[in-house]
Amino acid sequence: MKDPVAQVVDGQSGDFVRTLHIRGAEPRPRVFSRTGAYTLRAGEPGRGFRTFTGLKPQPLDAPSSLAVRF
């Protein structure tokens, strides 16, 4: 999938925090708070999304990753 959409949702309130088109293979969507958990929805409108819940923010230099295959 080329340039999918990533949506970051606040895990507690359900509010959308950020929605962006991903350019490239390794995005790092930023969030406003380092506490709490988030849900990531990644995919293409009209073709479906993959959903990942309970994700915690990591520092930019952290070696963590989440591989998503479509």
Give, in degrees to the nearest 5, the angle at Cα 35 between 32 and 24: 50
Beta bridge partners of 57: none
33 vs 14, residue with greater confidence: 14
Residue 66: pLDDT band with limits 50, 70, 90: confident
Per-residue pLDDT for 19 more than 80? Answer: yes
14 contacts 53 by C-beta, under 8 angstroms: no
Across residues 1-17, what is the average pLDDT?
Answer: 88
Residue 25: pLDDT band with limits 50, 70, 90: low
Rounded-to-integer distance, Cα 56 and Cα 64, Å = 10
Residue in the block written with tokens 């507690």: 12
